[in-house]
Amino acid sequence: MDVKKQGVYLKDWQGLAECAERMLPLIGHLYRDNNIVTTVFGRPLVNSTTIDILKAHRFARLILDHELSVLDTFPILEEMAKLDLAPARIDIGKLITRYQAQGSATSVADFVRQELAAINTGRAPVLDEPQDVVLYGFGRIGRLLARLLVEKSGSGEKLRLRAAVVRKAGDDDLVKRASLLRRDSVHGHFNGIITIDEEENAIIANGNMIRIIYSDAPENVDYTQYGITNAILIDNTGKWRDREGLGRHLKAQGISKVVLTAPGKGDVPNVVSGVNNELITREEQIFSAASCTTNAIVPVLKAVNDRFGIASGHVETCHSYTNDQNLIDNYHKNNRRGRSAPLNMVITETGAAKAVAKVLPELTGKLTGNAIRVPTPNVSLAILNLELSRPTEVKELNEYLRDMSLDSPLQNQIDYTNSPEVVSSDFVGSRHACVVDSLATITQGSRCVLYVWYDNEFGYSCQVVRMVQKMAGLELPCLPS
């Protein structure tokens, strides 16, 4: 064993870790004081650990032809902290790549000032006043939305989670709901501290007071008595999916808009964040965030259709089991779903293909779809078997999708991997709507098959939050442009 080399590796690691540690207070300062969200090729650094920062830089090797080091990005971050910046999302990975590409003619300080000149205008409030948000339901999606909203609270000037409405399940209801928010078998422990305030019947998560309100009917809640006004309510129960049912929330005092975390029926606008945001208007009060599968496949379908054209196709999803299935064989109103979810692959229907047409009308009648529920608790896989309008090659198709994931209007929705070893559990916690598995891509003339992973819980919840941010007018500029 080369002992000398072993020492070099350890010394190099310690140097990188020390540099990452120095980045932490700068990232925190920019976020809390200026509402600056820092990323590395889309990987968020806010609320990260030293190891998280190093791993985010390590990820860049899948995108670039070389390694990206914290020793390179630290000077960029250091200069950013010296400026008086307005709220924005800043990708320091892209900044250092652009700086290195232009050579050393300009100092880092001058380069950062030039690139961020548009927002070097002084700290400013993101909104005139914080946007109140209410969760109606506190199940799988509701609790993940709570985690995300608490994480993004920043200086308290953006989205502000005020309450969750549930049916009281027992005398220890508050304690149990706090425990479910604190611990999750799939997504791990809550990143922070959770306590309860029994007098206010509230969960305190990282300083955010979330009142737990008990009600059996949407219209019976008076939110204004809790100081909640003009709130966006996210209904994650799925109990009501049409305009009439969801409209019951608007009869409650303090609610101005409603978002459904399931496909909407009738004339309820189905929005996939990043794709058809134009449906979010001031006049409309009721929206659907569509389904997790629709959010996963629509961005890729749009990207492919824009470049290559889609003549026809079939979408097959291998979807993790959900709460509407049985743990062991028992009666179920739907075919096959009564069979044990952890023990079987279950063929079932999906409305994703039809839902695509609501979001991308140009694909109406061109797609079919089906689903297989598989014995995993989270992360699903969509297989897109498409007939394109022209021939293509694997390299052309993959490079195009990689570019879309890096620098396009869909970069928050589409992620990309070229690892030969990834499996479903590697995508737990993915914040993108979907991840293109490039090494699985197949082409044959004008036919292609794409394999797209998605965290059907967390990735979808991120899409819902993006949609709510758009509704609230929370659209931070993304730099470098």
Residues 307/363, Cβ–Cβ less than 8 Å:
no
| DSSP one-letter string for 217-253 | SGGG-BGGGGT--SEEEEE-S-S--SHHHHGGGGGSB
Q: Which of 292, 318, 434, 462 is catalytic?
A: 292
Q: In terms of C-beta density within 10 A (0-12 exposed, 13-18 middle, 19 or more buried), how is residue 196 classed? A: middle
* Cβ(23)–Cβ(16) below 8 Å: no
Alpha-carbon distance values, 118 to 3, 91, 196 (Å): 51, 15, 43
Q: Classify residue 421 as exposed, middle or buried by CB count within 10 Å of its CB (0-12, 13-18, 19+).
A: exposed
Asked if the peptide bond before residue 477 counts as cis, ω within 30 degrees of 0, the response is: no
Query: Closest Cα partner for 435 from 425, 443, 444?
Result: 425
Strand partners, 29: none
Contact 464, 261 (CB under 8 A): yes
> Bridge partners of 234?
135, 259
* Of 412, 468, 459, 470, the residue nearest 235 (C-alpha): 468
How many residues are listed for the chain in this entry?
481
Identify any residues that bridge with 346 across adjacent strands, giving them in sequence order: 373
Q: Report in angstroms the alpha-carbon separations of 97 from 45, 64, 91, 270, 479.
A: 17, 9, 10, 37, 13
Q: Judge whether 462 counts as a catalytic residue.
A: no
Q: Angle formed by the axes of helices 292-308 and 394-406, to 10°?
A: 120
Catalytic residues: 292
